[in-house]
Structure 1
Amino acid sequence: MIQISENQIITIVTPSYNQGEFIDRTLNSILSQEGSFYLDFIVMDGGSKDNSVNRIKFYSDLFENAEIIGNYLDLSFRKLSGNTSYATKCLGISYRWYSEKDNGQTHAINKGWKLAKGSIIAWLNSDDIYMPSAIQKASDALKEPGNYGLYGVGLHIDKEDKFLEFYPIESFSKERLIEYCIICQPTVFLKSEVLSKIGFLNESLGYCMDYEYWLRISKESTFIFLPEILACTRIHENTKTSQNLNVHREIVQMQKEVVGKTSDHWLFYYSYYFIKSQFPNIKHSLILSLLFRFYFFYLKYFSR
């Protein structure tokens, strides 16, 4: 029996709630990852009412009788073999899942990270997917000391996995990160030491907890930018980030607290969505433009 070391383990947490339409594709994209690492995979379901739990349990049952390859502390890492689409392509997988009421996505991720055993951690939402070999590429790049994390290129896809657009990624710059979120969340991998150095996600945030975390990390360290396509974010009608006014309101307040100011970019778009919500019957684009630019000017120079 192999005794596994922490630096061989990568922990992925998937928060889940009523995403049965997509969760198989998410789980497959994680469990099919190929590479020289052990995967500590944790699904934190919030008590889904659809078929999510059945699908989560399906994979758990597959691993229940799989061969045990090695152990780390209280975890057993198993490997599915044979001529099957579920055959394990990394060194071994520990699969854990929980389904219970939580306080939302951010709380679920933190709960998972508190159980993590890996030297590298990440989270992948239950409607997003990893590209093949994403975890191995991230692991290789993070072997260099001095950085807490990395991010790569991300794609936006639709409900049927069709490509929509590239996420607007840029090489890392702390100043640009303040101006705009240049980091695509599902492409991010972090060294586990970030939890003791920076802390956990801010559970008071429901939309921009990832962006706020990147800003906190950037105060202490830089991110590696890996110019590889690592993951896809799914855009559909239930996506949180489609709630534009709520998202931008939370970002504006968060930036004031974390960096002491709000960037013009976020203030501009918050003004736009706020005015549209206040005057839904105004269709004339020129009038709307004048109103939200006036409101932006007011917020920028008189309300900070």
Structure 2
Amino acid sequence: MVNFKYPKVTVLMPVYNCELYIKEAVESVLNQTFKDFEFLIIDDASTDKTVHIIKSYNDARIQLIKKPVNTGYTNSLNYGLKIAKGEYIARMDGDDISLPERFEKQVAFLDAHPNVILCGTLYQIIGTNKVCDHPLSHNAIKVKLISACYIAHPTVMFQKRILETNRLQYDSVMEPAEDYDLWSRLVFLGELANIGEVLLYYRTHPQQTSIIRSTKQNKVSREVRIRMLTMIDPLFDAEVYSFDLSAQNLNNQFVIKKIKSKIDLFDSLVILNNQREIYDEKLFLNYINQEKKYLYNLYKKKSVTYSLGNIFLGLIKYPDFFKKIGIKETGEIIVKSVFYRMKAGF
């Protein structure tokens, strides 16, 4: 019986019209200090010189798959997951650069921590000194994922078996936040981590999917955040949670009522989380307090444009709300409102 040796890692890189950056991306993978990998490059029917450039490399680890029709990024990812042979899957994009020791350090980390099913790394924005400093520990990542995606997709390496065992893959409906959606599911199946070292250079440019489709990305991200909070309370009011004060141009009394409902919702989530222990108590409380602080500060910023009559009505109906803002700050709101009205000629 023939005993085939599978690679330790599958490097999965979907590409589409990356001719300006693909050379650096490919070479950063081929020049890794860790050598035991297969390199799946799935081209989504590129119309530029991307495929020509990839074909110029003579390396047996490269497996170029050319799709005859453009079917999308998530489709390419899921096809790659299906055919990947590695124990670990390392993600890579066609416009980024992996540092030479990235794979070596991630493999060593995952081998040493079998309870960790996925690890990302810190990364630096190409052309700047900006380093995206994401949380490192599982508990911190778990709470941070409620507010945003704190694991950079092209930096991750994860266990293939965790997806197979749980029949998980990227959800095309959640594109272009398909990675955020997947991490928010995996975080309840095992531990996630970020290595506290820059191991990837990340490129930003106007053609990026996240920039072009930012409106849908924001919508999908909100859905992910709501789902993560339903882990605490499946019946919590998503409509109240989704109230966006920054988008309001309404009378003050209505706004105060909505904010108060949102704050009450936050308080109830803290109580339930303490009982059910879904998220680390201290870290979750800190997250909630930051959300409240944001609401209070935004209210103070916007309130000067509201009528004094509604402010005083709010003081009578919702005194607890203004107590939380503070007596001094409430006084400042009233004074600023007076001057705003005088200046506006009201």
Q: Deviations over 1:83-109 (max 9, x none)?
A: xxxxxxxxxx25333233242111111
CA distance in 1 between partners of 2:109 and 2:83 (Å): 24
Q: Which has the higher helix share?
A: 2
Q: Deviations over 1:45-78 (max 9, x none)?
A: 110111111112212xx23xxxxxxxxxxxxxx4
1:107-118 matches, cutoff 5 A: 107-118=75-86
Partner of 2:73: 105
> Aligned in 2, Cα 1:212/1:298: closer, same or farther, shift over 3 Å?
farther
5+ residue gaps, structure 1, are 64-77, 79-92, 279-286
Q: Report if aligned partners of 1:167, 1:184 keep a CA contact under 8 Å in 2.
A: no
CA distance in 1 between partners of 2:31 and 2:20 (Å): 19
Partner of 2:222: 252
- Alpha-carbon shift at residue 44 of structure 1 (Å): 0.8
Q: Report if aligned partners of 2:134, 2:150 keep a CA contact under 8 Å in 1.
A: yes
Q: Report if aligned partners of 1:212, 1:258 keep a CA contact under 8 Å in 2.
A: no
CA distance in 1 between partners of 2:237 and 2:119 (Å): 24
- Alpha-carbon shift at residue 224 of structure 1 (Å): 2.8
Partner of 1:32: 31
- Alpha-carbon shift at residue 271 of structure 1 (Å): 6.9
CA distance in 2 between partners of 1:191 and 1:117 (Å): 11
Q: Report if aligned partners of 2:38, 2:86 keep a CA contact under 8 Å in 1.
A: yes
CA distance in 1 between partners of 2:90 and 2:10 (Å): 6
Q: Report if aligned partners of 2:151, 2:194 keep a CA contact under 8 Å in 1.
A: no
> Aligned in 2, Cα 1:29/1:297: closer, same or farther, shift over 3 Å?
farther
Partner of 2:136: 171
Aligned match for 1:196, one of 153, 157, 164: 164
For 1:23, the aligned partner's letter is: I
> Aligned in 2, Cα 1:234/1:262: closer, same or farther, shift over 3 Å?
farther
Does 2:5 correspond to 1:5?
yes
Indicate the SS of the match to 1:96.
Answer: strand
CA distance in 1 between partners of 2:110 and 2:79 (Å): 24
Indicate the SS of the match to 2:216.
Answer: helix
- Size of the alignment, in residue pairs? 249
Aligned match for 2:195, one of 213, 226, 231: 226
For 2:130, the aligned partner's letter is: E
Q: Report if aligned partners of 2:90, 2:157 keep a CA contact under 8 Å in 1.
A: yes
Q: Report if aligned partners of 1:109, 1:123 keep a CA contact under 8 Å in 2.
A: no
Aligned match for 2:152, one of 184, 192, 196: 184
Q: Report if aligned partners of 2:147, 2:225 keep a CA contact under 8 Å in 1.
A: no
1:1-304 matches, cutoff 5 A: 5-6=5-6, 8-35=7-34, 37-59=35-57, 62-63=58-59, 78=60, 93-144=61-112, 145-157=114-126, 162-172=127-137, 173=139, 174-198=142-166, 199-242=168-211, 243-257=213-227, 259-260=229-230, 275=247, 297=259, 300=262
For 1:41, the aligned partner's letter is: F
Q: Report if aligned partners of 1:208, 1:251 keep a CA contact under 8 Å in 2.
A: yes
Of stretches 190-199 and 117-126 in structure 1, the one that deviates more from structure 2 is 190-199
RMSD: 3.4
- Alpha-carbon shift at residue 14 of structure 1 (Å): 0.8
Of stretches 236-245 and 203-212 in structure 1, the one that deviates more from structure 2 is 236-245
- Alpha-carbon shift at residue 299 of structure 1 (Å): 10
> Aligned in 2, Cα 1:267/1:152: closer, same or farther, shift over 3 Å?
farther
For 1:234, the aligned partner's letter is: R
5+ residue gaps, structure 2, are 231-235, 265-346
Indicate the SS of the match to 1:148.
Answer: strand
TM-score (norm 1): 0.71
Q: Report if aligned partners of 1:45, 1:99 keep a CA contact under 8 Å in 2.
A: yes
For 2:51, the aligned partner's letter is: V
Indicate the SS of the match to 1:179.
Answer: coil
For 1:50, the aligned partner's letter is: D
> Aligned in 2, Cα 1:213/1:298: closer, same or farther, shift over 3 Å?
farther
> Aligned in 2, Cα 1:29/1:301: closer, same or farther, shift over 3 Å?
same
For 2:17, the aligned partner's letter is: N
> Aligned in 2, Cα 1:14/1:175: closer, same or farther, shift over 3 Å?
same
CA distance in 2 between partners of 1:197 and 1:3 (Å): 24
State, as a whole percentage, how many aligned pairs show the same letter: 22
For 2:221, the aligned partner's letter is: I
Q: Of the two, which has the highest radius of gyration? A: 2
Indicate the SS of the match to 2:130.
Answer: strand
Q: Which has the higher strand share?
A: 1
Higher relative contact order (CA 8 A, sep 6+): 1
For 1:16, the aligned partner's letter is: V
